[in-house]
Amino acid sequence: MLELGAGVGDTGFDAAEIIGEPGRLISTDFSPAMVAAARRRGADRGLDNVEYRVMDAERIELDDDSVDGVLCRLAYMLMPEPGAALAETRRVLRLGGRVSLAVWGALDRNPYFTIAAGILVAHGHLPPLDPSGDPAVSMASADRTAVLLEDAGFPRVRTEEVAVHFEVPDAAGYLSMVADTAGPLGLALRDVAATDRAAIEAAVAEPLARFSTGRGYEIPGVALCAVAE
């Protein structure tokens, strides 16, 4: 099994434990730092059936028909040419193999991102949002994702929306989670000076309030999942 855009490897590692020996997971990411982090986490989990490789998903360095399955969680949507990556995915899959992927749904259904983004825009740390050009939601449409998969050579495609939620204790915890997990948005937040960070933390309290549980906040969201073969 191949995982593309694996990051630190969590999804693939769960799969590696399920397939066991003699199965094998190839955990890959475009970033050498991510691959190194995944290797450390895999060792911590005692996984012996994982190979770690730096790899460009648009130019997969594997032979044709060489893997039984491909996983990709929240990465195809960020690639410059997701269609090319999906075509490469089809090339390396054996007959009967399948790809399983997840991408984010529309921004207006994912306040986890839009709350922080809106405040960063208001404080001058990000340019105004352009949802049509945001790579994080470039595959939010089930129709578009299905067409990309079909054009890549997958005749059978199933998509399903999946509700998600993020639990945070307070505004500071929310911003810390965004900084650690939200890609370019997180990078922008990490670049904010400490004094501005305090102002942003105060500003997010109001939009977060509608998601209060009394013990913290539970922020809803939507992902789009697809399986194709």
The string of DSSP codes covering 177-212 is HHHHHSHHHHHHHHTS-HHHHHHHHHHHHHHHGGGB
Q: Count the neighbouring beta carbons within 10 Å of the beta carbon of residue 153.
A: 13
Q: Is residue 151 in a domain?
A: yes
Mean pLDDT of all residues in 22-32: 96
Q: Is residue 28 in a domain?
A: no
Q: Is residue 36 in a domain?
A: no
Q: Is residue 163 in a domain?
A: yes
**At what angle are helices 111-122 and 171-181 packed, to 10 degrees?**
100
For the chain, give the percent of residues with pLDDT over 70. Answer: 98
Q: Is residue 29 in a domain?
A: no
Q: Is residue 146 in a domain?
A: yes
Does the pLDDT of residue 224 top 90, yes or no?
Answer: yes
Q: What is the pLDDT of residue 131?
A: 63
Say how many domains are in the chain. Answer: 1
* More reliable by pLDDT, 226 or 127: 226
Q: Is residue 50 in a domain?
A: no
Does the pLDDT of residue 41 top 70, yes or no?
Answer: yes
Residue 144 burial by CB count (10 A; 0-12/13-18/19+): exposed, middle or buried? middle
* Model pLDDT for residues 181-195, shown as the tens digit of each residue: 887 788 888 888 878
CATH classification of the domain holding 144: 3.40.50.150
> Which pTM was predicted?
0.89
**What pLDDT band is residue 11 in, cutting at 50, 70 and 90?**
very high
Mean pLDDT of all residues in 110-119: 93
Task: Give me the domain span that covers residue 123.
Answer: 56-228
Q: What is the pLDDT of residue 87?
A: 98
Q: Is residue 13 in a domain?
A: no
* Model pLDDT for residues 126-161, shown as the tens digit of each residue: 888 766 667 778 899 999 999 999 999 999 999 999
* Model pLDDT for residues 53-111, shown as the tens digit of each residue: 999 999 999 999 999 999 999 999 999 999 999 999 999 999 999 999 999 999 899 99
